[in-house]
Amino acid sequence: MKRLSTLPASCLRLMCSIIIGLVSPAWLYAQLSLNENATLAQIANELEGPGITIFNLSIIVGNTNQYGTFTGGTIPSGAGPVVGIDTGVFLTTGAVNTIAPDRANITPGINDNATLGPNTAGGISFSHPGPPYSDPDLTSIDTQATRDAMIVEFNVVPQQNVLKIAFVFGSDEYPEYVCTIFNDAFGFFVTGDFGSGTDTTRNLAVVPGTSVPIAVNTINNGSVGSAQSPGNAAPCDLSNSGSFIDNGDGTTSSLNQNLQLDGFTIPLLTQTDVIPGNTYRVKLAIADARDKQWDSAVFVNFLTSTLFNDDADLRLSKQADNLAPAVGSNVTFTLTVDNDGPDAAPGVEVTDLLPSGFTYVSDSLGGAAGGPFVDYNPTTGVWTLPSSVASGASATLQITATINASGDYTNIAEITAAQATDPDSEPDNRSLNPNEDDTASITLPPVDLDYGDAPDSYGTDSTDSSGEGVGARHIINSSLYLGAAVPDIDINGFVDGIDDNGNGTDDDATGAPGNGDDEDSITSFPPLSILAAGYTISGIPLHNSTRSTAHLVGWIDFDQSGTFDADEAATVSVPDRTSSVTLTWSSLPGIVAGVTYARFRLTTDTSIATGTAATSVPTGTAIDGEVEDYQLIIGGLTVSGTVYNDANHNRQLDSGETGTGLTLFAKLIPASTPAGPALSAVPVDAGSGAYAFTSVNPLTYRVIIDDNATLSDVTPTLPAGWIGTEIPGQIRPAVTVVNASVPNQNFGLFNGSQLSGTVFIDNGADRGTPNNGLQDGGETGLGSVTVTATDGASTVYDTTTTAADGTYTLYVPAAATTVAVTQTNLSAYLSTGGSPGTTGGTYDRNPDTVSLTATAGTSYSGVDFGDVPNNTFVPDGQQNGLPGTVLWYPHTFTAGSAGTVTFSTSGSSSPAIPGWSETLYQDNNCNSIIDNGEGQIGSIALSAGDQVCILMREAIPHAAPDGATRQVTVSASFSYDNASPSLSHVLQRIDLTTVGDSTSAGLHLLKAVDKTQAAPGEVLTYTITYSNRSNESLSNIVIHDLTPAFTVFQSATCDLPLPLDISGCNVTQQPVINGTGAIEWTLGGTLRPGHQGTVTFSIQIRQ
C-alpha cells in the first residue's frame, strides 16, 4: 500500500494547519453525557493524549458551570447530527448545569442552553453575571468577543515534533446571525519556541486550508443570516460550507434530536510543528460577541504528539441493493473497507468514479447531487476516510446512483492511498487480480420493467422498505399485456419511485419517463357498495399471443387494510389469443366503505399467477405480462350539521341556539380539488340552521357556507354584518367520509364584529425592544389579564381574560359603533404601551385603552397591550448609633424592564442640627459591605430582571444629642427605555437613625417576611435578625414588635442555636392565638460584637 508523506518540508519552521473531518456525518448521532462537576485534574487528564504531558492547568476566566467533560459523542440515539467526537472537554458561553440530560427543571428562555437536543428553539441564551473580559488573543479574532468568556490555559510538553488536537465549534447564532456583528469566536492558541529561538503565539483554530480564525462569520452554511440588518451587518466568508453541519433552526426538532446548537463545524483536526521536549503554553478560549445572547460551545478531544503506524492489511468489498435495475431507477452501492492488519491505517482514500451508465444522486456521508459534498467527491470519485481504520475495524460508504439508458455499467472501486503499508495489495493500479483485495467491481445491466402505482403499503416500489414486499413488476413482453397498449417502461413503482398523486394514478399519464397511459384495461368500475355480497367486472380487454395459457389475477382491498390479502383475490385463465375476460369475487371479506385500491396482474409466470386465487402473489417480479393498479370507492353516506346564531359567541352549538334567519347554502367540495367545482350545494334551513348532504361517497371533502348555490363559486361569503365563530372562515377543510355518516359539521355565526390581540410582557426578551408597546423579539404573552370592550362609558359589550399565551378575543354586537377596549393590569404590573392593530383606532396609555369605530361583520386583530412587572426597591431601615459614628443602610433595586435608574436622598432631623450627611454607594456584590473598587453610585442602565444593590452611608454629627433622630428618604427614579410618551416611576424607602449610647447604638434589627404577596387566610412568618454592630458586648436585650394591621397572632419563637454568650431567650409577652397586640422577646447574657441571632413570629391575614 502506498505510504503518504506526513508533512511537507516547508512545515519544518512554519506552522502547518491540516484540517480533516474526523468522522463520517453518517455516524454523527449520539446521546451526550456531560459532567459539569469535573475537577481541573480531570480536565487535564481528559486533554492529555498519547505523546504529551500536561501540567499547570488553570481557569483564567469563566464560571464553574461553563466547562466540563463529555462522553458518548458518537453513539447513535436519534435523528440529526451531533458532535462526532466521542469524549473530551467542552467549554460554553452558556451554562453546563442547564445541559444535563434531565431538563425537567429548565425554563425555556431563562436557564436553558444552546447544546443538548432536541433543537426546539432558534436561539437559546444564558447570561453570566460580571463585566466583559477582554483577552488579547481572542479579541484579535473579533474585537467584541468579550461576553461570557470561558478561557482555560495549561502547559504541554510534546514527545514528537508535532502537536495535534481535534475539536468542533458550534453556535446558536447560526443561521440567523451569520454576517452580523454577533460573531461568536473560538481560539486554540499555542505559545512557545517553534524554532526561531523566541516565543511566538499561533492560533491553530483556523478555517481549513487558510489562516482565517474560526468564528460564526468564517465557517457557516454559506448564506447571509435572516437577522442581518443595516445596523448589525459585518464582513463574513460564505465559502466554507463544506466544513459546516446544519442542525436546523428550532422548527424541525424531530429531525434534529441530539443537539440544541443550530449549527457546528465538522470535527476538525489541526496540528503544528513543535520542538520535542520543549514546554508550550496552550490557551483554549471562547466568548460571545457584542452581547450575551444565543450561546456558543466548543468540544475538544485530547491533544496528541504521535507519528503514524506502518503495517495494515486493507480489504475492499462492494455490494448493490438491486441486481436487476430498470433504466431510470436507483441503485445503491455499498463499499466496505476492512483492516485485517495489526496496526491502524490512517489517511485512507478509496476511488470509486461512477461509469457513464450511472448518474450520481447522493451518498451516505451527507453529499447530494449539486453539492455540497462531505467525504466523498463524485466528480473525482475519491472517498477520503476522515479517521483511521483501526485494526479489525471497518468503514462503509453507500453511493446512490440512477441507471442511465446507455453507457458503461461496470463499476470498479479501488483503495488508492493510505498512510500505512499493505502486504498483499498495490494501490491505484486498477487491477482485478483476485490476489489483490484492494479492488472491487460489480456490473449491473438494466432491464425494461412495468410497475404498479398503488400506495407502497401494497408492495409497489422496488424496495421492501417496511416488509410489504418488493414491488409488483413485470418484464415487458409485447406478446402479453392488459388493455390495448403494450406497457411503457417504468423506472420504479409509481413510474419514478415517488407516489406523486397518492391515488393509484401515477402511471395513468402520458409523457416521460413512460411512453403513454398503459393502465387502460378498466375505464370505470361497476358500482360497489358495502351492502354487496359479490362483485364482477366483465369484458376486461387484454392481449395474449404467447402461445401459452396465462392467468389474470385481481385483488381488491375490501377491508382497506393497506395490503392485498389472499382472500381478496380472484383469478381467471387466459388462453392464447384471448381478447377479453370476466373476473368474479364470490365473497367480499370485511368490506369497509371508503377509498380503496385494486391490482390486476397478467402473466404466464406460475410463481406469480398460480391458477389459484389464494396462492397467487401480488408482489415480486414476473417474467412477462403487465400490472395495473386502480383506486376505487366503496360507499354512499351522509354529511350533516347546523349553521347557528352563536349569540353568546362561545364557538359551540348550545341548547336553544337556532338558525340565523339568513338565506345560506352548504357546499361539498372534494379536498383534492379545492378550486372546485363543488359536487353539491344544499340549502341551510333559516329557522333551525340544519343542512345535510346525502349519497356521499367515501372521500375527504371541504364543506363551506356561502350565500348562493352556484357550484363553481367555492369562496365562502356571508351576508353583511356577520362573522364566523366556530369555523371562523366558514371552511371545514378536511371532512373525511369513510364507512359511516359524518354529523355535527357545525358552523357558528355572530351578528357583529370581533376584536383580538395579545397582552404581552414588553421587557425586550430575546433581542426585542423593551417598553415600545410592540410585541417583538421573544417577548411572551401574559395570561389571566382582564380585557373589556365597552362603549367608552357604562355599557359593557364583552369581557374576557387572556389565555396562557396572552391572547384574547372579544365580540361586539352589530349595534355597537363606538368601542373602547381596556385592559386591567395584574397587580404588580405597569402598562408601557399598546397598539390599535387593524382597527384604525388610537391607543391611550392612560387609561390603557384602544378606542375605535367598529363596523359589523369585521374581524379586527392586533389590538395588543404591553405590560411589564413593577420595579421593586427594598427594604426600609432603622438603626441606632453614637455621635460621630457612621451607619450603613442596604437597599436592593430590581428592574421589571429596561431603563435607567437614578438614586437620591432627602432627609429631616429632630432636633434640627447640622452635621448629618448621607452618601450613596453601589454594592456590586450585594454583600452589604463596601469593598475595594466600590464607589459612589450614579445613573445605571438596566435590563429586565437586573438587580442593583446600594448602601446609604449615614454620618451622625459629633454634637448630636442622645435621642436625636434623622429620617432619610432614599428615592429610586426609573426612566423606561423606548417608552412613548416617556414613562418613569419613583420608589422610595425610609431609613431612620436614632442617636443613643454605645449599648443601644450597637443593636441592629433587620425584619423580613417569607412572602411578598398573600391572600386572606394565608399565614406570614416574620424573622427579626438582631446583631451587635458596636465594639462592646450588649446585655439586657429586649426586642418588641406588634401584630400588623388586619392580621391575628399565631405563634412566636426564639430561633436556635443562640449566639455565643446569650444564655437564654424567652417570649415574655404575646397575644392569645388569633388575638392582636404586643410581642416581646427577652435575651439573657450578653451579645458579643459582630454576633447575631434571630426570633420569629407568625400571623394570619384576616378573612
Q: Residue written as cell 424607602?
A: 989
Q: Which helix (H) or strand (E) holds 1001?
A: helix 998-1002
Rounded to an integer, the average pLDDT of 555-567 is: 94
Asked whether 261 and 247 are in contact (CB, 8 A), the reply is yes
Rounded to an integer, the average pLDDT of 229-241 is: 91
Between 322 and 3, residue with greater pLDDT? 322
Which range among 210-214, 778-782, 891-895, 1069-1073 shows the weakest confidence by mean pLDDT? 210-214
- Out of 124-138, 381-395, 476-490, 966-980, the most confident range is 966-980
Is residue 266's pLDDT more than 60?
yes
What pLDDT, on the 0 to 100 scale, is given for residue 509? 58
DSSP secondary structure code for residue 825 in this structure? P
Asked whether 964 and 850 are in contact (CB, 8 A), the reply is no
How many whole angstroms from its chain centre is CA 887? 52
Is residue 310's pLDDT more than 70?
no
Q: What is the pTM of this model?
A: 0.41
pLDDT tens digits for range 83-136: 778 789 999 998 764 333 333 334 444 444 445 566 676 666 677 778 889 999
pLDDT tens digits for range 965-987: 999 999 999 999 999 999 999 99
pLDDT tens digits for range 1061-1092: 999 999 999 999 999 999 999 999 999 988 99
Is residue 424's pLDDT more than 60?
no
CA dihedral 501→505→509→511, nearest 10 degrees, is 60
What pLDDT, on the 0 to 100 scale, is given for residue 638? 87
What pLDDT, on the 0 to 100 scale, is given for residue 501? 77
Is residue 662's pLDDT more than 80?
yes
Beta strands across the sheet bearing 947-955: 872-874, 886-894, 947-955, 917-922
What pLDDT, on the 0 to 100 scale, is given for residue 1060? 92
Question: Using alpha carbons only, how large is the chain's radius of gyration in Å?
Answer: 40
Instruction: Give the separation between CA 990 and CA 183, rounded to whole angstroms.
Output: 47
pLDDT tens digits for range 700-722: 999 999 999 999 999 999 999 99
Instruction: Give the separation between CA 554 and CA 564, rounded to whole angstroms.
Output: 10
Confidence class for position 494, pLDDT limits 50, 70, 90: confident
Non-local (6+) Cβ contacts of 18 within 8 A are: 269, 270, 271
Asked whether 62 and 91 are in contact (CB, 8 A), the reply is yes
Mean pLDDT (the chain, rounded) = 86
**Pairing relationship of beta strands 859-860 and 1062-1069 according to DSSP bridges:** unpaired
The string of DSSP letters for 149-194 reads: EEEEEEEEEESSSEEEEEEEEEESSTTTTTTBS---EEEEEEEEES
Instruction: Give the separation between CA 196 and CA 202, rounded to whole angstroms.
Output: 13
Which range among 88-92, 266-270, 886-890 shows the weakest confidence by mean pLDDT? 266-270
pLDDT-above-70 percentage for the chain: 88
Q: Residue written as cell 399598546?
A: 834
pLDDT-above-90 percentage for the chain: 61
Between 696 and 381, residue with greater pLDDT? 381
What pLDDT, on the 0 to 100 scale, is given for residue 161? 87
Residue 955 corresponds to which cell in the numbers above?
454620618
Residue 1050 corresponds to which cell in the numbers above?
399565631
How many whole angstroms from its chain centre is CA 421? 47
Residue-range domains of the chain with CATH: 17-304 (no CATH), 314-443 (2.60.40.10), 449-634 (no CATH), 637-743 (2.60.40.10), 751-860 (2.60.40.10), 871-996 (2.60.40.10), 1000-1103 (2.60.40.290)
In Å, how far are 345, 629, 788 from 391, measured between CA atoms? 8, 52, 75
Closest CA to 648 of 494, 752, 544: 752
Instruction: State the SS3 of 32-91.
Output: CEEECCCCHHHHHHHHECCCEEEEEEEEEECCHHHEEEEECCCCCCCCCCCCCCCCEEEE
Non-local (6+) Cβ contacts of 244 within 8 A are: 219, 220, 221, 222, 263, 264, 265, 266
The values of phi and psi at residue 202, to 5°, are -120, 135
Rounded to an integer, the average pLDDT of 585-608 is: 90
In Å, how far are 191, 276, 418 from 161, measured between CA atoms? 15, 5, 21
**Runs of H (alpha helix) within 563-644:** none
Rounded to an integer, the average pLDDT of 33-51 is: 88
Asked whether 399 and 355 are in contact (CB, 8 A), the reply is no
Is residue 742's pLDDT more than 90?
yes
